[in-house]
Protein backbone atom coordinates (compact mmCIF):
# COMPACT_ATOMS: atom_id res chain seq x y z
CA UNK A 1 0.00 0.00 0.00
CA UNK A 2 2.61 2.56 1.06
CA UNK A 3 3.99 4.47 -1.85
CA UNK A 4 1.55 2.84 -4.25
CA UNK A 5 -1.31 5.26 -3.85
CA UNK A 6 -1.83 8.97 -3.49
CA UNK A 7 -2.96 10.22 -0.11
CA UNK A 8 -6.56 11.46 -0.04
CA UNK A 9 -7.37 14.92 1.31
CA UNK A 10 -7.28 13.98 5.00
CA UNK A 11 -8.34 17.40 6.28
CA UNK A 12 -11.47 17.25 4.14
CA UNK A 13 -12.30 13.77 5.50
CA UNK A 14 -11.70 14.98 9.06
CA UNK A 15 -14.01 17.94 8.40
CA UNK A 16 -16.85 15.61 7.32
CA UNK A 17 -16.21 13.39 10.34
CA UNK A 18 -16.61 16.41 12.61
CA UNK A 19 -19.84 17.40 10.81
CA UNK A 20 -21.15 13.87 11.35
CA UNK A 21 -20.12 14.07 15.01
CA UNK A 22 -22.17 17.26 15.42
CA UNK A 23 -25.21 15.61 13.80
CA UNK A 24 -24.88 12.51 15.97
CA UNK A 25 -24.69 14.71 19.08
CA UNK A 26 -27.57 17.03 18.15
CA UNK A 27 -29.90 14.33 16.73
CA UNK A 28 -30.78 12.73 20.09
CA UNK A 29 -31.82 16.14 21.45
CA UNK A 30 -35.04 15.71 19.42
CA UNK A 31 -35.80 12.82 21.83
CA UNK A 32 -37.31 10.66 19.09
CA UNK A 33 -35.91 7.12 19.54
CA UNK A 34 -35.79 6.28 15.83
CA UNK A 35 -33.97 9.54 15.06
CA UNK A 36 -31.54 8.83 17.91
CA UNK A 37 -30.97 5.34 16.55
CA UNK A 38 -30.19 6.67 13.08
CA UNK A 39 -28.16 9.72 14.08
CA UNK A 40 -26.22 7.95 16.84
CA UNK A 41 -25.58 4.44 15.56
CA UNK A 42 -26.20 4.91 11.82
CA UNK A 43 -23.73 7.79 11.73
CA UNK A 44 -21.30 5.85 13.94
CA UNK A 45 -21.21 3.13 11.27
CA UNK A 46 -20.63 5.74 8.54
CA UNK A 47 -17.88 7.42 10.58
CA UNK A 48 -16.24 4.06 11.31
CA UNK A 49 -16.29 3.21 7.61
CA UNK A 50 -14.77 6.58 6.70
CA UNK A 51 -11.98 6.18 9.26
CA UNK A 52 -11.24 2.58 8.23
CA UNK A 53 -11.42 3.30 4.54
CA UNK A 54 -9.46 6.56 4.39
CA UNK A 55 -7.34 6.90 7.53
CA UNK A 56 -6.52 3.19 7.89
CA UNK A 57 -6.19 3.00 4.10
CA UNK A 58 -8.41 -0.06 3.95
CA UNK A 59 -9.61 0.97 0.50
CA UNK A 60 -6.06 0.58 -0.78
CA UNK A 61 -5.40 -2.72 0.98
CA UNK A 62 -5.25 -6.14 -0.61
CA UNK A 63 -8.30 -8.40 -0.54
CA UNK A 64 -6.82 -10.60 2.18
CA UNK A 65 -7.03 -7.72 4.69
CA UNK A 66 -10.68 -7.13 3.74
CA UNK A 67 -11.23 -10.86 4.16
CA UNK A 68 -9.68 -10.79 7.66
CA UNK A 69 -11.83 -7.87 8.74
CA UNK A 70 -15.07 -9.24 7.28
CA UNK A 71 -14.44 -12.67 8.80
CA UNK A 72 -13.85 -11.03 12.19
CA UNK A 73 -17.16 -9.22 11.94
CA UNK A 74 -18.98 -12.36 10.80
CA UNK A 75 -17.54 -14.34 13.73
CA UNK A 76 -18.56 -11.49 16.02
CA UNK A 77 -22.09 -11.91 14.64
CA UNK A 78 -21.91 -15.62 15.46
CA UNK A 79 -20.83 -14.71 18.99
CA UNK A 80 -23.69 -12.20 19.28
CA UNK A 81 -26.38 -14.67 18.27
CA UNK A 82 -24.72 -17.45 20.26
CA UNK A 83 -24.77 -15.44 23.47
CA UNK A 84 -28.16 -13.80 22.83
CA UNK A 85 -30.30 -16.68 24.14
CA UNK A 86 -28.40 -16.69 27.43
CA UNK A 87 -29.20 -13.04 28.00
CA UNK A 88 -32.51 -12.56 26.22
CA UNK A 89 -34.28 -15.87 26.80
CA UNK A 90 -34.79 -16.18 30.52
CA UNK A 91 -37.93 -18.30 30.52
CA UNK A 92 -37.89 -22.09 30.62
CA UNK A 93 -37.56 -25.06 32.92
CA UNK A 94 -33.94 -24.40 33.77
CA UNK A 95 -34.33 -20.71 34.54
CA UNK A 96 -34.98 -19.45 38.04
CA UNK A 97 -35.55 -15.87 39.06
CA UNK A 98 -32.92 -15.92 41.78
CA UNK A 99 -32.20 -12.21 41.62
CA UNK A 100 -35.52 -11.16 43.12
CA UNK A 101 -35.39 -13.53 46.08
CA UNK A 102 -31.59 -13.30 46.52
CA UNK A 103 -31.16 -17.06 46.27
CA UNK A 104 -28.29 -16.64 43.72
CA UNK A 105 -26.17 -15.21 46.50
CA UNK A 106 -27.22 -17.97 48.88
CA UNK A 107 -26.36 -20.63 46.29
CA UNK A 108 -22.88 -19.21 45.90
CA UNK A 109 -22.39 -19.02 49.64
CA UNK B 1 11.91 4.53 3.38
CA UNK B 2 14.30 2.65 5.64
CA UNK B 3 13.64 -0.98 6.49
CA UNK B 4 16.72 -1.76 8.58
CA UNK B 5 16.72 -4.58 11.08
CA UNK B 6 16.97 -8.37 11.06
CA UNK B 7 13.36 -9.05 10.17
CA UNK B 8 11.50 -10.51 7.22
CA UNK B 9 9.99 -7.29 5.92
CA UNK B 10 7.59 -8.86 3.43
CA UNK B 11 5.41 -11.94 3.31
CA UNK B 12 5.81 -13.45 -0.13
CA UNK B 13 2.46 -15.25 0.13
CA UNK B 14 0.45 -12.05 0.60
CA UNK B 15 2.78 -9.35 -0.72
CA UNK B 16 2.04 -7.34 2.42
CA UNK B 17 4.83 -6.05 4.67
CA UNK B 18 5.12 -8.24 7.77
CA UNK B 19 4.57 -5.42 10.23
CA UNK B 20 1.43 -4.24 8.51
CA UNK B 21 -0.01 -7.73 8.27
CA UNK B 22 0.69 -8.23 11.98
CA UNK B 23 -0.96 -4.92 12.81
CA UNK B 24 -4.08 -5.96 10.93
CA UNK B 25 -4.09 -9.21 12.90
CA UNK B 26 -3.97 -7.16 16.08
CA UNK B 27 -6.92 -5.15 14.79
CA UNK B 28 -8.81 -8.38 14.00
CA UNK B 29 -8.25 -9.66 17.54
CA UNK B 30 -9.23 -6.30 19.02
CA UNK B 31 -12.51 -6.51 17.09
CA UNK B 32 -13.35 -9.54 19.25
CA UNK B 33 -12.26 -7.92 22.49
CA UNK B 34 -14.26 -4.72 22.08
CA UNK B 35 -16.88 -6.23 19.79
CA UNK B 36 -17.65 -8.94 22.34
CA UNK B 37 -18.13 -6.38 25.08
CA UNK B 38 -20.26 -4.15 22.84
CA UNK B 39 -22.36 -7.16 21.79
CA UNK B 40 -23.03 -8.10 25.43
CA UNK B 41 -23.83 -4.48 26.31
CA UNK B 42 -26.35 -4.26 23.45
CA UNK B 43 -27.98 -7.56 24.43
CA UNK B 44 -28.43 -6.49 28.06
CA UNK B 45 -29.79 -3.13 26.93
CA UNK B 46 -32.25 -4.76 24.51
CA UNK B 47 -33.34 -7.06 27.33
CA UNK B 48 -34.32 -4.05 29.44
CA UNK B 49 -31.84 -4.81 32.21
CA UNK B 50 -32.23 -2.35 35.11
CA UNK B 51 -29.57 0.35 35.38
CA UNK B 52 -29.09 1.11 31.69
CA UNK B 53 -31.15 4.29 32.08
CA UNK B 54 -28.06 5.63 33.89
CA UNK B 55 -26.69 6.48 30.44
CA UNK B 56 -28.50 9.78 31.01
CA UNK B 57 -26.01 10.54 33.82
CA UNK B 58 -22.99 10.66 31.50
CA UNK B 59 -21.89 13.98 30.07
CA UNK B 60 -22.67 14.21 26.35
CA UNK B 61 -20.48 17.32 26.08
CA UNK B 62 -17.46 15.48 27.54
CA UNK B 63 -18.06 12.46 25.32
CA UNK B 64 -18.50 14.60 22.20
CA UNK B 65 -15.38 16.60 23.04
CA UNK B 66 -13.36 13.41 23.47
CA UNK B 67 -14.69 12.11 20.14
CA UNK B 68 -13.55 15.36 18.52
CA UNK B 69 -10.12 15.01 20.16
CA UNK B 70 -9.68 11.45 18.95
CA UNK B 71 -10.86 12.28 15.43
CA UNK B 72 -8.36 15.14 15.34
CA UNK B 73 -5.58 12.91 16.65
CA UNK B 74 -6.44 10.43 13.90
CA UNK B 75 -5.94 13.25 11.43
CA UNK B 76 -2.54 14.19 12.85
CA UNK B 77 -1.22 10.61 12.87
CA UNK B 78 -2.28 10.06 9.26
CA UNK B 79 -0.61 13.37 8.36
CA UNK B 80 2.52 12.05 10.12
CA UNK B 81 2.35 9.02 7.84
CA UNK B 82 2.01 11.24 4.76
CA UNK B 83 4.90 13.42 5.98
CA UNK B 84 7.26 10.48 6.57
CA UNK B 85 6.46 9.09 3.14
CA UNK B 86 7.60 12.37 1.63
CA UNK B 87 10.76 12.24 3.76
CA UNK B 88 9.83 15.07 6.15
CA UNK B 89 11.06 13.51 9.39
CA UNK B 90 10.76 16.60 11.59
CA UNK B 91 7.24 17.29 10.37
CA UNK B 92 6.25 13.67 11.03
CA UNK B 93 7.81 13.90 14.49
CA UNK B 94 5.73 16.98 15.26
CA UNK B 95 2.52 15.39 14.00
CA UNK B 96 3.18 12.31 16.15
CA UNK B 97 3.57 14.48 19.23
CA UNK B 98 0.36 16.34 18.35
CA UNK B 99 -1.31 12.94 18.36
CA UNK B 100 0.20 12.11 21.74
CA UNK B 101 -1.06 15.49 22.95
CA UNK B 102 -4.55 14.49 21.77
CA UNK B 103 -4.23 11.27 23.76
CA UNK B 104 -3.25 13.22 26.87
CA UNK B 105 -6.24 15.58 26.49
CA UNK B 106 -8.51 12.56 26.03
CA UNK B 107 -7.21 10.95 29.22
CA UNK B 108 -7.53 14.18 31.22
CA UNK B 109 -11.20 14.49 30.21
CA UNK B 110 -11.74 10.80 31.01
CA UNK B 111 -10.12 11.20 34.43
CA UNK B 112 -12.36 14.21 35.11
CA UNK B 113 -15.40 12.15 34.14
CA UNK B 114 -14.35 9.15 36.22
CA UNK B 115 -13.68 11.19 39.33
CA UNK B 116 -17.03 13.00 39.04
CA UNK B 117 -18.91 9.74 38.65
CA UNK B 118 -17.07 7.96 41.47
CA UNK B 119 -17.66 10.89 43.85
CA UNK B 120 -21.37 10.84 43.05
CA UNK B 121 -21.52 7.11 43.86
CA UNK B 122 -21.66 5.70 40.34
CA UNK B 123 -18.90 3.15 40.79
CA UNK B 124 -18.15 -0.01 38.84
CA UNK B 125 -20.24 -2.12 41.24
CA UNK B 126 -23.29 0.21 41.19
CA UNK B 127 -25.11 -1.67 38.42
CA UNK B 128 -24.49 -3.44 35.12
CA UNK B 129 -24.39 -0.21 33.11
CA UNK B 130 -21.56 1.21 35.17
CA UNK B 131 -19.76 -2.16 35.12
CA UNK B 132 -19.78 -2.02 31.33
CA UNK B 133 -18.94 1.68 31.33
CA UNK B 134 -15.81 1.39 33.46
CA UNK B 135 -14.69 -1.90 31.89
CA UNK B 136 -15.02 -0.74 28.29
CA UNK B 137 -13.86 2.85 28.65
CA UNK B 138 -11.08 1.72 31.00
CA UNK B 139 -9.87 -0.90 28.55
CA UNK B 140 -10.08 1.71 25.80
CA UNK B 141 -8.06 4.16 27.91
CA UNK B 142 -5.38 1.49 28.39
CA UNK B 143 -5.20 1.17 24.61
CA UNK B 144 -4.82 4.94 24.34
CA UNK B 145 -1.95 4.89 26.87
CA UNK B 146 -0.27 1.97 25.09
CA UNK B 147 -0.58 3.74 21.74
CA UNK B 148 0.93 6.93 23.16
CA UNK B 149 3.95 5.10 24.59
CA UNK B 150 4.61 3.29 21.31
CA UNK B 151 4.18 6.53 19.35
CA UNK B 152 6.72 8.29 21.58
CA UNK B 153 9.26 5.50 20.96
CA UNK B 154 8.63 5.59 17.21
CA UNK B 155 8.95 9.37 17.08
CA UNK B 156 12.55 9.21 18.33
CA UNK B 157 13.34 6.35 15.96
CA UNK B 158 12.31 8.35 12.94
CA UNK B 159 14.33 11.35 14.09
CA UNK B 160 17.36 9.03 14.12
CA UNK B 161 16.42 7.92 10.60
CA UNK B 162 15.07 4.41 10.84
CA UNK B 163 11.87 2.34 11.17
CA UNK B 164 9.85 4.84 9.16
CA UNK B 165 7.30 2.16 8.28
CA UNK B 166 6.25 2.01 11.93
CA UNK B 167 4.52 5.39 11.62
CA UNK B 168 1.95 3.78 9.37
CA UNK B 169 1.59 0.77 11.68
CA UNK B 170 0.96 2.78 14.82
CA UNK B 171 -1.41 4.89 12.71
CA UNK B 172 -3.52 1.83 11.86
CA UNK B 173 -3.64 0.92 15.56
CA UNK B 174 -4.51 4.47 16.61
CA UNK B 175 -7.30 4.75 14.04
CA UNK B 176 -8.74 1.54 15.42
CA UNK B 177 -8.67 3.01 18.93
CA UNK B 178 -10.52 6.02 17.49
CA UNK B 179 -12.94 3.70 15.72
CA UNK B 180 -13.78 1.89 18.97
CA UNK B 181 -14.56 5.21 20.64
CA UNK B 182 -16.84 6.12 17.73
CA UNK B 183 -19.06 3.25 18.92
CA UNK B 184 -18.57 3.73 22.67
CA UNK B 185 -19.73 7.34 22.41
CA UNK B 186 -23.31 6.64 21.26
CA UNK B 187 -23.56 3.57 23.51
CA UNK B 188 -22.63 5.28 26.75
CA UNK B 189 -23.46 8.92 26.14
CA UNK B 190 -26.34 9.44 23.75
CA UNK B 191 -28.48 6.31 23.64
CA UNK B 192 -30.73 7.16 26.58
CA UNK B 193 -33.83 5.28 25.55
Closest-approach residue (CA) in chain B for A47: B182
pLDDT given for residue A3 in this prediction: 46
Confidence check: pLDDT of A107 > 80: no
Between chains, do B16 and A40 touch, taking CB under 8 Å as contact? no
pLDDT tens digits, one per residue of B39-70: 999 998 888 888 888 888 999 999 999 999 99
10 Å Cβ neighbour count for B82? Answer: 19
Q: Measured between CA atoms, how close is A92 to chain B, in angstroms?
A: 16
Which CA distances in Å does B94 have to A39, B83, B152? Answer: 35, 10, 11
Overall average pLDDT of the B93-106 stretch: 97
Confidence check: pLDDT of A49 > 90: yes
Interface test with A, best of B71, B81, B98 (most A CBs within 10 A): B71
pLDDT tens digits, one per residue of A15-25: 999 999 999 98
Q: Measured between CA atoms, how close is A4 to chain B, in angstroms?
A: 11
pLDDT tens digits, one per residue of B107-145: 999 999 999 999 999 999 888 999 999 999 999 999 999
Confidence check: pLDDT of B30 > 90: yes
Q: Choose the closest CB to A62 out of B16, B67, B71.
A: B16
Q: Measured between CA atoms, how close is A84 to chain B, in angstroms?
A: 6
CATH number for B18-190 (one of 1.20.120.80, 2.60.40.3120, 1.10.730.10, 1.10.238.10): it is 1.20.120.80
pLDDT given for residue A99 in this prediction: 61
- Length of chain B (residues): 193
Phi, psi (rounded to 5 degrees) for B50: -60, 145
Closest-approach residue (CA) in chain B for A9: B79
CB B156 within 8 Å of CB B96: no
- Number of A–B residue contacts, CB under 8 Å: 127
Between chains, do A55 and B171 touch, taking CB under 8 Å as contact? yes
Confidence check: pLDDT of B2 > 60: no
Angle at the Cα of A57 from the Cα atoms of A56 and A60, rounded to 5 degrees: 155
Residue extents of the structural domains in chain A: 10-108
Q: Choose the closest CB to B39 out of A21, A40, A76.
A: A76
Amino acid sequence: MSGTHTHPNYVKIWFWLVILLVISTVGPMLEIPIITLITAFGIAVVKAFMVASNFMHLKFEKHIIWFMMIMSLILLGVFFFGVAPDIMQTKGDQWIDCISDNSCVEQRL
Amino acid sequence: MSNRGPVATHRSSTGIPTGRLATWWVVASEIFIFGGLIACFVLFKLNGTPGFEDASKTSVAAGAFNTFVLLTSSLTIVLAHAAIESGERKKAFNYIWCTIGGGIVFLIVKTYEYSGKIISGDTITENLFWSFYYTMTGLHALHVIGGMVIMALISFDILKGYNFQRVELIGIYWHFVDLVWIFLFPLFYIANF
